[in-house]
Amino acid sequence: MNKHLHYAFLGALAGMLTVINSYGQDCKSTLRVEGATTFCEGDSIRLLTSAKPNTTFRWLHNGTPLPLQTDTVLSVKQAGEYKLESSIREGSWKVVQEKLTNFNLYSAAFDGEELWVTGGENVLSLYTYPATSTHVALGIKADGSVYKREETHPKAPYYKIKFAEVRSQDSRKLPFGWRLGDRVGEVTNDGGATWQPISFSGVINTGLIDFSDGYLKDPANGVLVGKLYSHKIAGSSQLVMRFQNNQAIPVEIFSNGVRGGYGNVPYEEHISGLFFANDNIGYVVSGKGGIARTTNGGLTWAVVRDRKTDSKPLNGVYFASPSVGWVVGSNGLIYKTTDAGETWEDQSVAEPYTFTQVHFVDHDRGYTIGFEGTDYMNLNGILLETANGGKSWTRVTLPEQPPFNDILFTDPDHGWIIGNNGTVLQYSASYCTSESDPVTVVVNPRPAQPTITANADMKLVSSATSGNQWYFNGTAITGATAAEYTPAQSGRYTVQTNQTGCSSAMSEAFEFVVTATDPAMTGSVIVYPNPTSDQLHVSLKDLTGAVHIELISPDGRMVGQKQVSSTNQQSVIPLELKGLAPGAYVVRVRSSAFTKTSKVILNQ
């Protein structure tokens, strides 16, 4: 899907390309509160702020950062003081001096302390370097000062220079690195202090290979890309070689079995970009739209996108992780994958730019470089940036520059762009950090869940002395807010307590039965002895049908029950009271036409 670019216009001040995005000195965030800052235990509110470009957030609780809380929204359940720390990155590009060299610069690498830049001009010849070939090498310190500038004649330029992870020896930084060019490949194990030729063996005459790219695990193993000269006058074969135990062995990727030329090697498409996410997982792109992946350090390759899918030229590739990466090419082409190349999302822009390289600092923030124009003598360098993983791109409008060839970030705050005619741009970032005004949150505790007991007068009593609200069968009883309540009808009674605006959990239900007695049968049920200490008897007489006897504790729980099938004659039913706590109990006797409730006092 093509997208038109947004533009961030920059001014030029004394050779400096000023800030890409500037938000001034006030980077303090304003907090919004959803809900009241005083609430009850178990509830929550939300604190919010507005998202800002190039801004990171960190929430603080009583001055301590909250782990993993870096979003613009915070859910708050605890009392205390909350602040939001905002940090806005303000980045700027500047030209490193004005004219370091008139020659083109192709590749940049960082050794852990300094930037190495290679370039020059090459006039191709099969066996000799003509006097017009020039090798250029620049050394640039982190502050942008140039400490080395070399132009060597006659010597062909290096097209690729790279340092692997920094290695430690005698407390010094001594990174392993390599540089590749026309019929030359060299490695270093001391951070570039000395360089040794790569040792080659095998059937391929590497003295006839113009190396353009490569990735080395060590001085004897890796992947090399170049072209093999076929004869003195013209012609060459593109090659991808697995470099294994010092042997350069051609591999087939896009050639579909077509071979020929010197050494009967595979005729590959032009390999325009190579990137390794680690020693095993790597990708190549071709000038005819092909993309291939290796998972074994270049021993074998699988085509994940061929020119039958889309033959638009590809020029650069970069992966922020082994599965998430981007490729760029001509006519504004930008593709993204999140599944190691199995599928690709079109993030292209509408403008017909030619992108030469792409680089991402993380999965969201990235840059692509290249040039615009069709007149070879009047091409202008371009720089685009994204802050959302490529969903949208913004062109950074710079004072007129030649085409850009390589981009490198040594860390998220420091980057470099190199290009034709000795162009070197340096990026550096500063941060504005500030804390928001505090928001104080008060969390009131909830009262304990109340309990209900029945006193000697058969009133229901709440364990809470104040703040009560009584309920009958789940409905609030109007005006029933005292600690005691006299029930007027049978049913389930509950109570809830409210303190400082916070309600307790509802009490357990107390089931209360008001006696409904047939006066003619009042003598049919006798409960004795009352009071009692260990056993209770219920005398039944002249009650037809089944009779249910229930013993209910002071807190409304049924603690005993019996059922009698028929009492046409007098029956005495014992109820065991052992193990029950002293208090006022209720004995309820029910039949199909008769109910009687009696209060019984259980003593020690």
How would you class 1 by CB atoms within 10 Å of its CB: exposed for 0-12, middle for 13-18, buried for 19 or more?
A: exposed
How many CA atoms lie less than 13 Å away from 453 in the CB half-sphere?
A: 10
pLDDT in tens, 156-166: 889 999 998 65
b (16+ CB within 10 A) / e for 465-484: eebbbbbbeeeebeebbebe
Report in angstroms the alpha-carbon separations of 125 from 120, 229, 265, 356: 16, 9, 21, 26
| Pairing mode, strands 209-218 and 196-197 | unpaired
In what order do the strands lie in the sheet containing 452-454?
Answer: 452-454, 460-462, 484-485
3-state secondary structure of 121: strand
Q: How many CB atoms lie within 10 A of CB 516?
A: 11
| Total residue count of the chain as it appears in this document | 604
The residue ranges of DSSP E strands in 500-569, in sequence order, are 502-503, 510-512, 525-528, 535-540, 547-552, 558-564
Residue 404: its pLDDT value, please?
96
Alpha-carbon distance of 340 to 317, in angstroms, equals: 12
User: Which residue in the block uniquely carries the two structure tokens 């059922």?
Assistant: 563
b (16+ CB within 10 A) / e for 223-240: bbbbbbbbeeeeebbbbb
Alpha-carbon distance of 278 to 297, in angstroms, equals: 8
Alpha-carbon distance of 361 to 367, in angstroms, equals: 8
CA angle 373, 377, 380 (to 5 degrees): 40
Contact (CB, 8 A) for 409 and 426: no
Stretches in the chain below the pLDDT threshold 50: 1-25, 170-171, 231-235, 516-517
Residue 165: its pLDDT value, please?
66
Q: How many CB atoms lie within 10 A of CB 332?
A: 24
- Report the candidate in 222, 217, 108 with the shortest Cα–Cα distance to residue 165: 217
Domains of the chain: 24-89+436-442 (2.60.40.10), 445-512 (2.60.40.10), 519-602 (2.60.40.3080)
For 420: left if phi > 0, alpha if psi spans -120 to 50, otherwise beta; the answer is beta
